[in-house]
Amino acid sequence: MSTAERRVLLVEDDPMHAELIKRAFEDDPAIIITVAHRLDEAIAALRRGLPDMVLADLRLPDGRGIELCQARDYPIVIMTSQGSEADAVEAMRAGALDYIVKSEVMFDDMPHVVDRALREWRLQLAHERANRQLQTQYEIASALATSTTLQEAAPRILESICRCVGWPVGELWRFDESAEVLHRKAFFSLDPALRTLEDVPHRFARGEGLPGRTWEAGQPLSVTYPADAPGERARPALGELGLYCGYGFPVHTSDGRTFALFTFYAPSIHTADVDIERLMSTVSAQLDVFAERQRGEEERRRLQAELVERERLAAVGETAATLAHEIGNPLNSMYMHTQLLQRRLRRMANVDPSITEGVALLLSENLRLGSLLQDFRSLSRRGSLRLAPVDLGRLLEQLLALQQPLLGSSSIEMLRELPPGLPTVVGDEGKLRQVFMNLVKNAIEAMPRGGRLSIIARVEDGRIIVEVTDTGVGIPEGVDVFEPFKTTKAAGTGLGLSVARQVITSLGGSLGCESELGVGTTFRVVLPIGTEADAQLDA
C-alpha cells in the first residue's frame, strides 16, 4: 500500500463497529481515521476540510449516510448491517463507489476496500478530467474557427479554460513590441463578484506583476499572494477577493516566439499538475495554428492588394503615356507661345491689365498641368534611383531654412529636434528632398490660421525615424491619403503622398500617418541606416 498520508472520515454510530474498522488499519500508519457518530457531525467535519475518502453507515441516528453522496467531492463507500438490493441500487445511483454489508470478514478486509475505492476514484477523476480537457479543446477550436482575430475568440477561450480547470479568473495579454508593454485584451470571471478586477490596470511592463514576470521568464510561472508581487501594487483587489495564487502561461509560436500569454487567479493552484501543463500546451499549439492561419490570410490579402495596386498603376501608366504624348507636347508649345506673348505685352504700352493677368493665369495653369503629368509619370513607374549616402540631418536643416520665411508670414511656430550627428541613410537625395518638401508643404497648408510645425528625428533599432507633425485641421477618419487621387485639399491632385510612399518604400523604409480631426496630423518616415558600402551593394 502507498505510504502517502490518506485521511478517512468514518461515519459510524455503532462504537464497536467503529473500533473494529479502526483496528483493521493499525498496520497502516498512513491512514488517519476521524470518526463521526452522527450525520450532522459528519457534515461539520466535511466543512472543516475534505477527506480523501468517506466510509458511511447507511442508517444513522439523525439521517442516512447516502445523503453524504450529494457533494460528489470525495469517494464514498456505504456500509450496512442488513443489506438489500434496493439499498444497494439507491447507494450506487447516489454516487457511492461501493456498497458493502458489514461482517467480521469485511471489517478485516477494510484496507483493501479503501485501496480499491481510492484507485477507482482516481481513475474516475482522470476520466472526467480527460473528458473535460477534450471538451475544452473542442470549444477552443470552435471559437478559433469562427473568429477572425484572437481578440474576438479570447473570451470564449478563457471561459472554456476557467470552467475546465476551475480557476475563477482568467486574462489574455498581447504584446506591444514598440512600447515593450503587455496589454490585456480579454477578461473572464466565473463569479460576478470578481468582475471588479476587470477595472484594474490593463498594461504591464516586462518583469512587472504576474503578466510581466511570466513574459520575462518565458515559461509557465506559479506564484502565491500575487497582490504582493512586484508590480501588483495596483491590484490589491486580488488579496481582498481571496485570490492568493496566480498562474501565468506564455503562448509560443512554432519557432519559439512568444506572442501572447494567459494569467489565471484562484484561491489555490497545484503548481505541479501535469494535466494542466498538458492542457495549456495543447491550447498553445491551437493558438499557434490559428496565428499561422492569420499570417497566411494577411499575406494573401497583402498580395491581393499589391496585385490590384499593380494593375491600377499599370492602367495609370498607360494613361500617363497617352497624356504625355497627346497632351505633353501641345502643352509645351502652348507654354512657349504664352511666354512669348507675355514678353511682347510687357513691351507694349497701355495694355488692359485684365489681359496681362489672363496671360499670367494661363502660364500658371500650364505649369500646374505639367506638374500633374510629372506626378502621373512618377506614380506609374519606379524610375531609377541614384543611391548614395544621404546626410538626412543636413537635408532637413536646408529644407527648413528655405521654408522659414513662409512660416513667419503664416504665423506658424516651428519646433525642430534634429540630433547632431544623425547617421546617414542610403537613398536618392533628390527624391528624399522631394518627399520631405511635400510633407512640410502639406503641414503648412493644413494650418491656414497658424499653428505649430514639429520636425523630430531620432535613431531607433538601426533606423532613423523622422516625424513631421502639424496642429492643423486633421484628416477625416476613413480617408486613405496614400491612395492615388485621394486628397483633402481643394486644389490637390492626390498624387503627392502616393509618390512619396513609393519612394520611401523603394528605399526599404515606410511612410505612415496618424491624424485626429481638429487636432492635427503626424507623418512618420522610417528609413534604415546605411553607409557608402551599403550604397555600393544596392547599386
Could you state, in order of their start, the residue ranges of all structural domains in the chain?
A: 6-128, 147-272, 299-380, 388-538
pLDDT at residue number 313: 67
At the topology level, CATH places domain 388-538 in Heat Shock Protein 90 (3.30.565)
> Which residues does 322 contact at the CB level (< 8 Å), separation at least 6?
none
Does position 392 have pLDDT exceeding 70, yes or no? yes
Q: What are phi and psi of 456, to 5 degrees?
A: -125, 130
> Which residues does 296 contact at the CB level (< 8 Å), separation at least 6?
none
Which numeric CATH code is attached to 6-128? Answer: 3.40.50.2300
Collapse the DSSP code of 376 into the 3-class scheme (helix H, G, I; strand E, B; otherwise coil) and give the result: helix
Q: What is the rounded distance in angstroms from the CA atom of residue 158 to the CA atom of residue 240? A: 22
Q: pLDDT tens digit string along 90-125?
A: 889 988 989 999 998 999 899 999 999 999 998 988
Q: What are 187's strand-pairing partners?
A: 171
Q: What are phi and psi of 465, to 5 degrees?
A: -115, 125
Cell readout for 164 is 475546465
Q: What is the mean pLDDT of residues 455-464?
A: 90
Residue by residue, DSSP assigns 464-525 as: EEEEEEE-SS---TT--TTSTT--SSTT--S-HHHHHHHHHHHTT-EEEEEEETTTEEEEEE
Q: Into which CATH architecture does domain 147-272 fall?
A: 2-Layer Sandwich (3.30)
The alpha-carbon radius of gyration of the chain (Å, integer) is 39
**Average model confidence (pLDDT) across the chain:** 82
pLDDT at residue number 537: 46
Instruction: Give the orientation angle of helix 496-506 with respect to helix 353-380, to 10 degrees.
Output: 30
Q: Quickly count: other Cβ atoms within 10 Å of residue 113's Cβ.
A: 20
Instruction: Identify whether the C-beta of residue 453 lies closer than 8 Å to the C-beta of residue 444.
Output: yes
pTM across the whole model:
0.51
> Which residues does 254 contact at the CB level (< 8 Å), separation at least 6?
288, 292
Does position 207 have pLDDT exceeding 90, yes or no? no
At the topology level, CATH places domain 299-380 in Helix Hairpins (1.10.287)
pLDDT at residue number 353: 86
Instruction: Identify whether the C-beta of residue 443 lies closer than 8 Å to the C-beta of residue 469.
Output: yes
